[in-house]
Amino acid sequence: MKVTCTQENLSRALSIASQAVGTDTTLPVLANVLLQTENGRLKLSATDLETGISVLIGGKVEAEGTVTVPAKLLAEYVRSLSTENVKLESKENKLHLKAGSYTASLNGIDPDEFPLIPKIKDKEICVVDAQSFATGVERTAFAAASDESRPELAGVYITLGKNSITMAATDSYRLAESVVEGVEMKASKQQSVIVPAKTLAELTHIIGEESNGKLKISLSENQMMFQYNDASLVTRLVEGQFPDYKAIIPDSFQTEAGFKRDELLQNIKVTGLFSREGANDIRFEFNLPAKETSLYAASSQVGKNSSKLKGKLKGETSQSVFNYRYLIDGLAGIKSEEVRFDTNGSSGPGVLRPSGSKEYTYVVMPIKQ
């Protein structure tokens, strides 16, 4: 292989592909990135056997070939270069690089040992705005369980509907659901799958924060593929039954409250400073006659704090105790100026939503005193 490409394109591609690099010490090749020529371009691939990422970049291909070398070392080396172009040449499982006054040689592993990243052909089921999909992931994936003892809870439940995609995640203490509209659906029927939350986080990195392109989604029996520009990500789907989360979302509420989103967030953050370490508990008192809501927290180590918050209240006077960190997480997914916070007393879940919209729903279980 003999290829010349820009330092910027190579560094970006390595940053994307390296997210799928494996850490299994019994298979050293998983710590490597595979570089190969394909149709006059350079293709970089990495996999941890659960997820595979491939990126194509342009360049001048003088000779075809394949080589696999340590991903972390190559990425750090290329990122450190200040020259415009990088020349890559492979010989006998070694990659030789030349960039300006720098020359380097990286020892590789036989490319035949690199696992095959599967391709999903002719199974494209929908096309969606990439940034809208990434927003849906950011609103939900954080609520998935970090413990993989129940793999289905460590994933995001994705339902591909006629004109929308619904994502949901829960760790049993809170639940986040986001609806992405404007989907070009090519499948004839609704389909639901569970995708590892960590894989979707990798996908948002590929999409970036300022993207304006389309994301293509393909599906096979046990794998899903996402394609964005010249990058593709293939992941294994999680087996198992996702909980009937719709049954967790209340249909009615004892107390319905409306607040300015930023005011509610500020009061929660300040009051949370005085919550008990480990419990993160703050008490909400919804006072209907006074038309105000009080927030209170106290701990024997730091002291106590209370604040009063004006807002629209409806229903009954009630009290509820919540983990303030969970509430902050939920409010991060809401960008509207007004927010609804509906509760069902001390034993029922609370629900955060943007006012006048059900595109995002966040359910949090109370702390029982």
Domains of the chain, start order? 2-113 (3.10.150.10), 124-245 (3.10.150.10), 250-364 (3.10.150.10)
pLDDT at residue 122 is higher than 70 = no
Identify the residue with better confidence: 117 or 58.
Answer: 58
pTM for the whole structure:
0.92
Counting every residue, how long is the chain?
Answer: 369
Q: What is the pLDDT of residue 156?
A: 98
Helix (H), strand (E) counts: the chain: 6, 27
Q: Band the pLDDT of 24: cuts 50, 70, 90.
A: confident
Find out whether 127 and 217 touch, Cβ atoms under 8 Å: yes
Q: What does residue 312 show for φ and ψ, rounded to 5 degrees?
A: -85, 125
- Average pLDDT (279-307) is 94
Q: Across 220-328, where does the E strand assignment appear?
A: 223-228, 231-236, 255-260, 281-287, 292-299, 303-310, 312-315, 318-323
Least confident stretch, 120-134, 150-164, 282-296: 120-134
Dihedral over Cα of 256, 261, 263, 268: its sign? positive
How far is the C-alpha of 29 from the C-alpha of 27, rounded, in Å?
5
Q: Band the pLDDT of 306: cuts 50, 70, 90.
A: very high
- Average pLDDT (85-105) is 94
- Average pLDDT (321-340) is 96
Q: Band the pLDDT of 298: cuts 50, 70, 90.
A: very high
Q: Band the pLDDT of 326: cuts 50, 70, 90.
A: very high
Average pLDDT, whole number, for the chain? 93
Q: What is the pLDDT of residue 294?
A: 97
Q: What digits encode the pLDDT tens for the residues 164-196?
A: 999 999 999 999 999 999 899 887 788 999 999
| R_g over Cα of the chain | 25
How far is the C-alpha of 350 from the C-alpha of 319, rounded, in Å?
11
Q: What digits encode the pLDDT tens for the residues 240-273?
A: 999 999 999 999 999 999 999 999 999 999 999 9
pLDDT at residue 127 is higher than 80 = yes
Q: What is the pLDDT of residue 26?
A: 85
Identify the residue with better confidence: 218 or 124.
Answer: 218
